[in-house]
A and B are shown apart, each in its own frame.
Chain A
């Protein structure tokens, strides 16, 4: 039995969890994240009070800090949307990391060139270039699935790993800005970056695009025939075929669509706060995105909340590492434990019963 077939029977946590269940998941994630953050501050820092303040308050204390946290959430939400698009079609693509990294690299490469000819209008086109790069990285998995029925989980992770090495080389080699100590490409001209909406915060139009994408996806899955076909294919391919849906298209299109979203997310990172492509900049976004998608119960409308929760954990742990001595990886560890916590069904069921 193939991985996808086995997954299809088991991954009810990955299909649309339903409204109430999703709200419970989000609440459980928030409660466990807050409890774990408090525990981390108490046990991993020699200045627990400062660590607690920094973790819980610093990301929200000022308007600038809060808006910058929103900006952190935007690429994660778009990337997680890509995860939902593939997982709800029953394709368990794990290639988000490489696709986002390729998107960031392609956007950073294209942005200065496009800016020379198009001026400030170049940013949306640079995001499209990033999205295209993500689609190209996802193409081998899509082609393999369509023509050979190859397991997407295996091909996507292999291609992604290979692409990460290749992009590492490109950023650190021929496209490296030799004038900088950072292993990064040349800084993108300020005018080619996504416009800042509320300086001095890093908030850009990416957050609006991310929110719009989540709402459009929610409409697609819940209000359109194509969305129904997409979901049905993910749950039972044979049944979707018997219903007359275009299963041939569904065998590859969601994989490419996810590649587009992952690539766009990477481009948003390069054209947003980072201002260029930096070696290793994807920093686990592909994996965090799977976690955010699970916390959101695979519902696009819940994604902005899940992404914001993860962005708070990143921002809070970073602030706590700067303002106290909390290890900076505490945020990543908390995210992992939150994912484990929300995957435990009896705990959520017990919470629902108590309600």
Chain B
């Protein structure tokens, strides 16, 4: 019983930072933009939380992480649209620039390009495995879910992805819809990054550790639907939690256990694609 509770608590801890990023990836997917920059935006969020939080405290740090990442995401999309740059290439640039820029700024702010622990930034545990910052991240994810499921923003985003021309015929601007989706996606990644940094009370280089990619995979595994994406996030969280819990039981090295969810996820993608192909009769 205690193992089950521990697994569930661990799953919630993994789910808290993953859920906002996945929902953010879904929003940009709705407008028809493949957002491979989630990983970079998560790092921007994590660093912003640590950098601003070190001066103004964790609450302001959390808000700053959301705001700075949202502006960065909207800026990247604006660049992509105005400069007619390929969104994939822009995403690649963001993913390369974010860790390098964070390292450069970290040297000025924290006098280290490595781990920068900041006193008072680690969020308090409210339940086993669940911190206040995790609840804040869940709240951001829930707010975005509400926005895409029950507001004109969600309807416009989906319409923009389905047919930009129809959107224009309705008098709405595709660029604005895409920009808004990226802004929301940035907010979401900011929450993910802040939750990660708050869980350890520090900035750790490359602390996103592939979560942006897992979030993107969750969007596709979930069939680019809200319910499916949330279910895929839950599945990944349980797998990652199981891998982490197994370290105490199985005599397998941590790195090997951590690699297993990625292989399983790849297998799930392939099996899912196979089933879809069979359904379509191809």
What mask results when residues 140 to 169 of chain A are scored 1 for a CB within 8 Å of chain B, else 0?
A: 110110011111011101110111111011
A140 surroundings in chain B (CB, below 8 A): 266-267, 270
Question: In the complex, are the beta carbons of A336 and B259 less than 8 A apart?
Answer: no
Kindly state the separation between the CA atoms of A50 and B202 in the bound complex, as whole angstroms: 33
Residue of B with least CB distance to A44: B104
Interface residues in A93-120 (C-beta closer than 8 Å to B): 94
Contacts A14-B86, A162-B266, A327-B107; A151 near B253 (Cβ below 8 A): no
Report how far A155 CA is from B265 CA in the complex, Å.
Answer: 8
In contact, A329 and B255 (Cβ under 8 angstroms)? no
Number of interface residues of B (CB under 8 A): 52
Q: How far is the CB of B268 from chain A (nearest CB, A)?
A: 9
Interface residue B83 (Cβ < 8 Å from any Cβ of A): yes
Closest to A13 in B: B86
A153: chain B residues within 8 A (beta carbon): 36
Q: Whole-angstrom distance between the alpha carbons of A158 and B218 in the complex?
A: 12
The reply to whether A148 and B271 contact each other, CB–CB distance below 8 Å, is yes
Q: State in angstroms the CA–CA spacing of A321 and B161 once bound together.
A: 46
The chain B residue sitting closest to A337, CB to CB, is B97
Within 8 A of A (CB), among B81-119: 83-90, 92-97, 99-101, 103-104, 107, 113
Please tell me which stretch of B48-56, B173-181, B183-191, B209-217 contacts chain A, meaning at least 4 of its Cβ atoms lie within 8 angstroms of it.
B209-217
On whether the beta carbons of B217 and A154 are closer than 8 Å, the reply is yes
Partner of A333, one of B100, B220, B262, B263: B100
A interface, by DSSP: helix, strand, loop or mixed?
helix
Mostly, the B contact residues are helix
Are A329 and B113 interface neighbours, CB within 8 A? yes
Contact at A336–B100, with CB atoms within 8 Å? yes
Interface residues of A (CB under 8 A from B): 3, 6-7, 10-14, 44, 92, 94, 140-141, 143-144, 147-151, 153-155, 157-159, 161-166, 168-169, 172-173, 284, 287-288, 290-291, 294, 327-330, 332-333, 335-337, 339-340, 343-347
What are 13 A-B residue pairs whose CB atoms fall within 8 Å in the complex?
Answer: A148-B277, A149-B277, A151-B269, A151-B273, A154-B266, A155-B266, A157-B217, A162-B266, A166-B259, A327-B107, A330-B100, A336-B94, A345-B83
Binding site for A on B (CB under 8 A): 32, 34, 36, 79, 83-90, 92-97, 99-101, 103-104, 107, 113, 210, 213, 216-217, 220, 253-256, 258-263, 265-267, 269-274, 276-277, 282
